[in-house]
Amino acid sequence: MAKSPEEEHPQKAFGWAAKDSSGLLSPFHFSRRETGDGDVTIKILYCGICHSDLHNVKNEWGFTMYPVVPGHEIVGTVTKTGKNVKKFKVGDRVGVGVLVDSCKRCESCQQDLENYCPQMVLTYNSYSQDGTKTFGGYSDIVVVDEHYVLRFPENLPPDAGAPLLCAGITVYSPMKYYGMTEPGKHLGVAGLGGLGHVAVKIGKAFGLKVTVISTSPKKEDEAINRLGADSFLVSSDPAKMKAAINTLDYIIDTVSAVHPLAPLISLLKLNGKLITVGLPEKPLELPIFPLVLGRKLVGGSDVGGIKETQEMLDFCAEHGIASDIELIKMGDINMAMERLAKSDVKYRFVIDVANSLSQ
Ligand code: NAP
Ligand code: ZN
């Protein structure tokens, strides 16, 4: 008979899990594998709440394996190292993002694109190579192969820096890959949530002009005066949307729900690029005529590889970029999920794990 999550490994662990598609989280005892020769064990200090966590706990994508302990924006301190570990020592401040393993042999892995490895192991709701389930960062400790662990720069705040491990790399990677970094060009950011607000900051650091395209008029003042955007479009305002047709070189679409692409495509200039990173639960409709007539491109992108994630962390440290966060206690997690579902967060919840996870 299969062992319970609490008994399958030697290191005791404790966190909060969703146990069914109500998405409600509650305390959960489980276990972590022994620290292997190439592994580090990390005491988790902070963990960001990504909208993917919300999609997962509610089984909106249809592949959640309950119980699920979410969390893939993890910052912590190394407490144990295996004998072959070279990058880290006990006491180091480190980060763990969306993936914790891959095959290390395929074409994607060879190109530092572990995030596209067919055998990639996600930080939670996935199977490790030993066949046991992975559990994420809404928990006290995690054991990870050092290859998938990031050095967390000293001058990045560990709480506000945590969201960079998913939100940061998810917007940085497509900007680099699709050539969306040319200073002076005009970037649109659709959806001003966790990913979107970091995209504004990174876009400004690349020297872009940034316009936010949002459903929330009340976010305008902060988008411009606090996050540094140059302008703000409310997508439900037809006059403003019309006036902005043909003005953007690129758009990063971070919207988490089904939404029309046609208005976004119309904002793009000739040869413009619309890159979607949001993952709504149902397909979006793609209007072909405006793409063909304007030689426009629609693409996608999934987080980023480990090497590029390190590059992004170092870039953010150098440019003073972190997330705007609301720090919460683990016991407030269900309230935070409810507010996240309503786009009511400025602009990322981060759990103060080490100070609020009591058994
Ligand atoms: P978030 O903080 O909830 O932000 C999403 C934003 O989308 C909201 O703040 C809201 O912005 C806008 N929005 C929500 N519902 C909308 C609707 N019905 N119509 C139009 N706009 C709407 O979420 P997040 O953590 O940034 O994640 C965004 C999406 O990216 C999620 O689907 C997530 O799963 C996905 N994701 C993908 C990757 C990847 O690798 N590709 C990585 C991480 C996350 P406004 O209030 O400004 O309209
Ligand atoms: Zn995420």
Atom of ligand 1 lying closest to residue 49 CA: 25
- Among 191, 208, 319, which residue's Cα sits nearest to residue 252? 191
Residue with tokens 């891959």: 102
- Among 331, 337, 338, 320, which residue's Cα sits nearest to residue 356? 331
Give residue-wise pLDDT tens across range 160-217: 999 999 999 999 999 999 999 999 999 999 999 999 999 999 999 999 999 999 999 9
Give residue-wise pLDDT tens across range 269-290: 999 999 999 999 999 999 999 9
* pLDDT at residue 1, as a whole number: 63
Number of neighbours of residue 326 by Cβ within 10 angstroms: 15
pLDDT above 70 coverage of the chain, percent? 99
Mean pLDDT to the nearest integer, 294-323: 98
Q: For residue 214, give the 3-state DSSP assignment.
A: strand
Ligand 1 center to 34 CA (angstroms): 36
Ligand 2 center to 72 CA (angstroms): 6
Distances (CA, A) of 19 to 24, 51, 64, 86, 193: 7, 18, 10, 37, 26
* pLDDT at residue 211, as a whole number: 98
Give residue-wise pLDDT tens across range 215-224: 999 999 999 9
Distances (CA, A) of 100 to 108, 124, 127, 148: 15, 9, 10, 5
Q: Which helix (H) or strand (E) holds 314?
A: helix 306-319
Atom of ligand 1 lying closest to residue 345 CA: 2
* Lining residues, ligand 1, CB within 6 Å: 50-52, 55, 166-167, 170, 191-196, 214-216, 219, 254-257, 259, 277-279, 301-303, 340, 343
Torsion on CA atoms 96, 99, 105, 110, rounded to nearest 10: -70
| pLDDT for residue 247 is more than 90 | yes
Ligand 2 center to 53 CA (angstroms): 7
- pLDDT band at 359; cut points 50, 70, 90: low
Give the number of whichever ligand sits closest to the CA of residue 195: 1
Decide if 214 contacts 263 (C-beta within 8 A).
no
Mean pLDDT to the nearest integer, 124-132: 95
CA distance 302 to 291: 22
Torsion on CA atoms 257, 338, 224, 235, rounded to nearest 10: 30
Which residue among 56, 116, 256, 277 is best mutated to probe the pocket of ligand 1, counting the most ligand atoms within 8 A of its Cβ? 256
* pLDDT at residue 2, as a whole number: 75
- Among 50, 97, 156, 137, which residue's Cα sits nearest to residue 303? 97
The pTM is what?
A: 0.97
Q: What is the average pLDDT score of the chain?
A: 97
Give residue-wise pLDDT tens across range 65-113: 999 999 999 999 999 999 999 999 999 999 999 999 999 999 999 999 9
Ligand 2 center to 194 CA (angstroms): 9
* pLDDT at residue 300, as a whole number: 98
Residue positions counted in the chain: 359
Distances (CA, A) of 288 to 294, 295, 297: 10, 10, 10
Give the number of whichever ligand sits closest to the CA of residue 56: 1
CA distance 274 to 196: 14
Tokens of 225: 């005066």
Decide if 324 contacts 347 (C-beta within 8 A).
yes
Across 204-279, where does the E strand assignment appear? 209-214, 231-234, 248-253, 268-276
- pLDDT band at 358; cut points 50, 70, 90: confident
- Among 285, 207, 272, which residue's Cα sits nearest to residue 246? 272
Decide if 18 contacts 57 (C-beta within 8 A).
yes
Q: Which helix (H) or strand (E) holds 99?
A: strand 99-101
Residue type, 262: A
